[in-house]
Amino acid sequence: MEPARRIFRIRGVVQGVGFRPFVYRTALRLGLRGAVWNDPEGVVVDAEGDAASLDVLAYEIKSSPPSRASIESMRTLDAVPAGAATFSIIPSATLGASHARVSADLPTCAAYLAEFLNPKDRRFRYPFINCTDCGPRYSIVEDVPYDRSQTTMRSFRMCPACASEYADPLSRRFHAQPNACPACGPRLWLHGSDREPIAATIEALREGKIVALKGIGGFHLACDARSESAVRKLRERKHRSGKPFAVMFPDLPSLERELVPESLHPTAPIALLKKKAGSTLASGIAPGLDEVGAFLPYTPLHHLVVRQPLVMTSGNRSDEPIAIRNDEALERLGDIADLFILHDRDIHMRMDDSVMRGGKVLRRARGFVPESINLGFDSPPILAVGADLKNTLCLTAGGAAILSQHIGDLESWEAQQFFAEARRNLERLFRVTPQYVAHDLHPGYHSTRMARATGLPAIAVQHHHAHIASCLAENGRRDRVIGVAWDGTGYGADGTIWGGEFLIADLAGFERKGRLRPVPLPGGDSAVRAPWRMALSHLLAAELPATRVVHTERASVEAMIRSGFGGVPTSSAGRLFDAVASLAGVCHFATYEGQAAMELEAICEGDAPPYPMPVIDGDLLELDPRPLLRALLDDLDRGVPAPLITSRFHAALALGIGELCERLRSSTQLSVVALSGGCFQNRRLSRSTKEALVQRGFEVLVHFRVPAGDGGIALGQAAMAAWRLRDVSGHSR
Ligand code: ZN
Ligand code: FE
């Protein structure tokens, strides 16, 4: 048979996931010769042998790559056989990389247990055990290509046993960059003591103490999740009054005893799951909510110390970024934790746990970043700075958009530093130097100021347009759609506060065609923390008795609203949730963003007929909440239980959205609706809205991998700027 030679160029998440050993093993089995190596764009396979075997190789690469790999594209070139004698793996050369994708951090794989639990294995109970299928990645990589010398593992010199695994293409640890063992790798210790750290941790947790544990992307603060007093102590010391804590369970059966399980995501994010009746978890974990953020051990250290349900919350003080360095943790968490479990494998990139709900990402970080989103068109390098709350940033490189991990609220200096770190890191790993910057229209945002400070040509993007563009980009769409952007607050194109918007939008632009009927936002930002103020505002707008609201400042706020200087008008849907939460007696004061809406959803029960929510005609269509509020007050007066009232409220919103979209379809002929904005992280609202729209024959686009809330704004900004600038890049289609 004629020898043939083919070169395959594979792009995607193909480095740091065992791709080269997989190709090596397959090539050996097929009797092929040649080589495989990492290049700046991914992996290159240069193979020769008989043509049929080359076909099989190509087929196996495409059909059964390593489980953590994700192939974006594979190009094949025919070449003249060079007479290679063997098949080999060529170590990475240091090249000017561009699109080489570093993998996200990976949770412990199933294969490690056999060694970890085996007293005869040299890695028996070793907290830093890993292989090509698991372990830290993005959080320890300082530069590409992904090689040990470019990670924080460089300071650990492998012992002969580890070095031979690392060099053996048939080993599970072939080129596993964080490879280590107790003889040569990182070690764990209890700060300020010679005690064995695992036993000390388990004992301290049993005694109700708070332990700071160094993990993959930063420190966690842990305490007994069944102890009310331990949880209260953690809240007091952390200055965190009501915001829910996540709980790590030792294993799936123990999780199932407390919560209703759903299919678990392979990267072990925090999943919001419904509490079962008779749950033994401390009530202080998620006050007022019916769900608990739950996850399973994802590092060997977790497997050692998590013996009972433990609160595991980011190691930070209130809204600051998560601590990563030992000295930093000792300083910043010094008066929170009783005990510090430290190790000497440095964390390069800060990374919180990701949060999912019903299969959708609410907070995107560990396990997802730096996976990119394919824009489907080429763009010049752009930096999108996102929104101020739940901030993330986004870079474009070629046709890819790379969304950073959750950074948080940009109010604090520490968060702004974190933003700079995340930006620098992505720019280095993806070899991008932004030439343009995209930011929110809000003139007062920190992110807007930071965007201007870059000195780059700037593109301002309206907040709700960015929400819809984010949904389009995630779904790989560029068409014009009816965009329903519902959230708490966003700066409108007319200088008022938007948040219940119906836009006709594509990546190029938008027209505002509908909204929730606006009411004054009494006292501006202070209204956000005080749902009772929104209740008052909505009551007055509906000409209903203000005396419904009981608060010492009611009279003065009422006078302020009646004077016409009651604050800027807002069409925010989030603020309508606030008003209803207060009227239903669920929540009058919010201690964290979105609390009132979350508590309202939590008590919701059953399916009930919707309250009336008509559409008012006009150039700008309006959904009118006044009849809804009148009917809701009638129900309250008749003693209808709150779970039913909130159920009717949710149903009204879904129906109202459906009706308004129907009007827009008849005037525009558009039949695709994109749902975005923080309100659609409400499961009941997004489910019933989607149902209402599908029933009317709409195609509905929603978020999955990218948060519907402000954590997704940067992607929308990037996609819009990229679309506008696509011809400027000089290498476009
Ligand atoms: Zn070793
Ligand atoms: Fe928003």
pLDDT value at residue 94: 39
CATH number of the domain encompassing residue 653: 3.30.420.40
Give tens-digit pLDDT for 193-245: 999 999 999 999 999 999 999 999 999 999 999 999 999 999 999 999 899 99
Q: Measure 505 CA to ligand 2 centroid, in angstroms.
A: 16
Alpha helical stretches, state H, 430-499: 446-453, 463-474
In a domain, residue 64? The reply is yes
Q: Measure 573 CA to ligand 2 centroid, in angstroms.
A: 11
Give tens-digit pLDDT for 458-504: 999 999 999 999 999 999 999 999 999 999 999 999 999 999 999 99
Structural domain tally of the chain? 4
Q: Measure 169 CA to ligand 2 centroid, in angstroms.
A: 48
CATH number of the domain encompassing residue 450: 3.30.420.360
Give tens-digit pLDDT for 277-318: 999 999 999 999 999 999 999 999 999 999 999 999 999 987
Pair 554, 641 in one domain: yes
Separation CA 590–CA 568 (nearest Å): 20
CATH number of the domain encompassing residue 204: 3.90.870.40
Separation CA 718–CA 726 (nearest Å): 11
Ligand 2 (ion): residues with CB under 5 Å are 487, 490, 710
Q: Measure 397 CA to ligand 2 centroid, in angstroms.
A: 25
Q: Measure 264 CA to ligand 1 centroid, in angstroms.
A: 33
In a domain, residue 348? The reply is yes
> What is residue 264's three-state secondary structure?
coil
Q: Measure 729 CA to ligand 2 centroid, in angstroms.
A: 29
Pair 613, 642 in one domain: yes
Ligand 1 (ion): residues with CB under 5 Å are 159, 162, 181, 183-184
pTM: 0.90
Q: Measure 576 CA to ligand 2 centroid, in angstroms.
A: 15
Banded pLDDT at 733 (limits 50, 70, 90): very low
State how far the alpha carbon of 415 is from the alpha carbons of 322, 390, 412, in Å. Answer: 10, 11, 5
Give tens-digit pLDDT for 407-416: 999 999 999 9
**Smallest-distance ligand from the CA of 442:** 2
Q: Measure 487 CA to ligand 2 centroid, in angstroms.
A: 5
Give tens-digit pLDDT for 148-195: 999 999 999 999 999 999 999 888 898 899 999 999 999 999 999 999
Q: Measure 182 CA to ligand 1 centroid, in angstroms.
A: 6
Task: Please state, rounded to an integer, the average pLDDT across all residues of the chain.
Answer: 94
Q: Measure 675 CA to ligand 2 centroid, in angstroms.
A: 12
Tell me the torsion sign for CA atoms 356, 359, 364, 367. positive
The conformation of residue 406, written as its DSSP 8-state character, comes to: P
In a domain, residue 573? The reply is yes
191-197: list long-range contacts, CB under 8 Å, 24+ apart: 191/326, 191/330, 191/339, 191/340, 191/341, 191/342, 192/340, 197/341
Pair 450, 546 in one domain: no
**Smallest-distance ligand from the CA of 183:** 1
Q: Measure 52 CA to ligand 2 centroid, in angstroms.
A: 54
Give tens-digit pLDDT for 375-393: 999 999 999 999 999 999 9
Q: What is the mean pLDDT of residues 696-714?
A: 98
Q: Measure 171 CA to ligand 1 centroid, in angstroms.
A: 14
Pair 724, 698 in one domain: no
Q: Measure 183 CA to ligand 1 centroid, in angstroms.
A: 5
**Smallest-distance ligand from the CA of 165:** 1
Pair 387, 247 in one domain: no
**Smallest-distance ligand from the CA of 161:** 1
Pair 377, 346 in one domain: no
Query: Of the candidates 29, 63, 89, which is a domain's last residue?
Result: 89
Pair 441, 505 in one domain: no
Q: Measure 210 CA to ligand 2 centroid, in angstroms.
A: 35
Separation CA 341–CA 213 (nearest Å): 5
Q: Measure 655 CA to ligand 2 centroid, in angstroms.
A: 22
**Smallest-distance ligand from the CA of 499:** 2
Query: Of the candidates 355, 385, 400, which is a domain's last residue?
Result: 355
In a domain, residue 142? The reply is no
Q: Measure 9 CA to ligand 1 centroid, in angstroms.
A: 33
CATH number of the domain encompassing residue 17: 3.30.70.100
In a domain, residue 233? The reply is yes
Separation CA 255–CA 235 (nearest Å): 23
Give tens-digit pLDDT for 20-72: 989 999 999 999 999 998 877 889 999 999 999 999 999 999 999 998 899 98
Banded pLDDT at 1 (limits 50, 70, 90): low
Q: Measure 175 CA to ligand 1 centroid, in angstroms.
A: 14
Q: Measure 464 CA to ligand 2 centroid, in angstroms.
A: 7
Q: What is the mean pLDDT of residues 562-583?
A: 93
In a domain, residue 140? The reply is no
Q: Measure 166 CA to ligand 2 centroid, in angstroms.
A: 47
Q: Measure 189 CA to ligand 1 centroid, in angstroms.
A: 18
Q: Is the peptide bond before 107 cis (omega within 30 degrees of 0)?
A: no
Q: Measure 475 CA to ligand 2 centroid, in angstroms.
A: 18
Angle at 344 between CA 216 and CA 417, to 5 degrees: 60
Pair 203, 308 in one domain: yes
**Smallest-distance ligand from the CA of 129:** 1
DSSP string, 153-179: TTTSPPPHHHHHHHH-TTSTTTT-TT-
In a domain, residue 136? The reply is no
Q: Measure 157 CA to ligand 1 centroid, in angstroms.
A: 8
Pair 457, 557 in one domain: no
Q: Measure 467 CA to ligand 2 centroid, in angstroms.
A: 7
In a domain, residue 72? The reply is yes
Query: Of the candidates 89, 111, 129, which is a domain's last residue?
Result: 89
pLDDT value at residue 92: 65
Q: Measure 463 CA to ligand 2 centroid, in angstroms.
A: 6
Separation CA 649–CA 364 (nearest Å): 30
Q: Measure 393 CA to ligand 2 centroid, in angstroms.
A: 14
Contact by Cβ (8 Å): 225, 281:
yes
Q: Measure 405 CA to ligand 1 centroid, in angstroms.
A: 32
pLDDT value at residue 3: 84
Q: Beta partners for 79?
A: 5
Tell me the torsion sign for CA atoms 155, 159, 163, 166. negative
Pair 691, 718 in one domain: no
**Smallest-distance ligand from the CA of 163:** 1
pLDDT value at residue 100: 53
**Smallest-distance ligand from the CA of 157:** 1
Q: Measure 194 CA to ligand 1 centroid, in angstroms.
A: 23
Range of the domain at 397: 370-461+713-730
Integer-rounded Cα Rg, in Å, for the chain is: 27
Pair 494, 611 in one domain: yes
Give me the torsion for CA of 307, 336, 191, 329, rounded to 10°.
Answer: 110
Q: Measure 172 CA to ligand 1 centroid, in angstroms.
A: 14
Q: Measure 142 CA to ligand 1 centroid, in angstroms.
A: 22
Q: Beta partners for 482?
A: 504, 673
**Smallest-distance ligand from the CA of 164:** 1
Pair 676, 586 in one domain: yes
Q: Measure 324 CA to ligand 2 centroid, in angstroms.
A: 29
Banded pLDDT at 110 (limits 50, 70, 90): confident
Q: Which two tokens stand for residue 116?
A: 């970890």
**Smallest-distance ligand from the CA of 707:** 2
